[in-house]
Amino acid sequence: MKLKRGLRDLNYFFKNKKAIATEYLPWILIAVAVLVVLALATMLMREKGIGLIDQLKNIFSGRA
């Protein structure tokens, strides 16, 4: 009897697996996009050096 109940619960899980995947897919894509942007920004900051950091400080402090 327990085996049938366990299989029934497992079957229920696999039927709802698609709904879980489609619910979280946009968030996963957004997270990947943010990671790509951060990686590109890090590479650009390494190449430009301190000058880019100083420019960002000037932008946020109000000095253009």
Asked if the structure places residue 13 within a domain, the reply is no
| Whole-angstrom distance, CA of residue 14 vs CA of residue 50 | 52
Asked if the structure places residue 5 within a domain, the reply is no
Q: What region does 63 belong to: left with phi over 0, alpha with psi -120 to 50, or beta?
A: beta
pLDDT recorded at residue 36: 93
Mean pLDDT by 10 residues, the chain (64 residues): 54 64 83 91 72 77 70
pLDDT recorded at residue 24: 80
Enter the tokens of residue 14. Answer: 């696999």
pLDDT recorded at residue 15: 66
* Alpha helices, H only, 1-64: 2-48, 50-61
Host domain of residue 54: 25-64
Asked if the structure places residue 3 within a domain, the reply is no
pLDDT recorded at residue 43: 79
pLDDT recorded at residue 35: 93
